[in-house]
Amino acid sequence: MITIHAMGDSLVTAYGEDENNFIGGWGDHLQSFFCEEKVKVNVYAQGGRSSRSFLNEGRFVDTGIFTVNEFPYNMGPVCNRIKPGDYVLMQFCHNDDNSKDKLTYIDRMTPLGEPDAEGRYPTVVPTEEMKVSTASFPEEYPQVLIDDGATQKEIEENRKKYEEILPAYGDTYYPYACGATYKGYLKFYIDKVRELGAIPVLITAPARQYFEGGKIVAVPGHHGNKDAFGDFPYVRAVRQLGVEENVAVADLFRRSCELLEMLGSEDAQSLHSIKDENGLTIGEARYDRPRRWIDEYDRCWREQLFSDVDNTHQNRFGSYLYAAALTDCLYEQIPELKAYVLAESKKVMSCPERIKGRVPEIEAMIKRIRVR
């Protein structure tokens, strides 16, 4: 039995049953594309995590912070589960991105570092010497927020929040300014996975729905925005690291852009979750907001019973398509998994009624799906 271990954030995590959730992550569906007698998918991802906070919280290496039942599906830290021959998928980016506001400087944001003359970002791996005491609050944080335009109320609220959060990391943690970089945290995971005899796989994060002229575009908060070397620096950094470390890269960002742009800005919204007037996700059972997929979702659209479309998180249909696209990437790049990939998913997924006419185009682009 081969185990595929999935690490990441809210776009990876499994939210639960299709019937009771509008929102979804590709971790909800990946198992349905593999022969379950040969391949087991474990999903450790948690919403709001970055490559740095996932490590600080003891979700990768066991630091004794959490009991097993505090992890998704009671699985415990990733390293405790990895065995030789397994595959470890890692998708981090959305919460690492520091190109918008700096409110998450303490726990989530992860620096890319300065690129060299050829646009390569530095790979500085976190070491024990870089850790600092959780009892000492980063002195620079208020000024970081002031420079970013935060109000005094926001500064006070966030300082109080993080003064409570930091001790939950244990005695020490890796702060934003410790010197380690985004590629460095990913390399930390790669090296540890290889030490355990398993195979690391990098995944570029799916695009957010920011359209201009029918194309997905870079804006602040969207995978690093842009710099002197081009758009979406965090995506480029993952691709660089894959080449440098000889690690397969499943380019879900590219595949998602192709799908979203094919559908166009209006129809592409039907792949994403929706929010109420308070900004809360509609149809998220684990927060006691269950809603029935697909009939209630369709009703929300017909009667406009929502305030906004979430441009980041997929719904059950969108996340199912991304799981299929990811499976296709794994099939193409990892020969050892080919024999265990199913010709069709075991799961049949309901498509939102407003884009049912686009199903033939979707099926032509995304393999192995079964849509009703």
How open is the CA angle 9-96-242, to the nearest 5 degrees?
A: 85
Its CATH class, for the domain covering 2-125+179-365, is alpha beta
Show pLDDT as tens, one digit a residue, over the chain (372 residues): 999 999 999 999 999 999 999 999 999 999 999 999 999 999 999 999 999 999 999 999 999 887 766 666 656 799 999 999 999 999 999 999 999 999 999 999 999 999 999 999 999 999 999 999 999 999 999 999 999 999 999 999 999 999 999 998 999 999 999 999 999 999 999 999 999 999 999 999 999 999 999 999 999 999 999 999 999 999 999 999 999 999 999 999 999 999 999 999 999 999 999 999 999 999 999 999 999 999 999 999 999 999 999 999 999 999 999 999 999 999 999 999 999 999 999 999 999 999 999 999 999 999 999 999
User: For the chain, where do the domains classified as CATH 3.40.50.1110 start and end?
Assistant: 2-125+179-365
Cα 169 from chain centre: 21
Q: Which residue has the tokens 């682009």?
A: 365
199 closest CA partner among 47, 352, 84: 84
pTM for this structure? 0.96
Tokens read off for 252:
């879900």
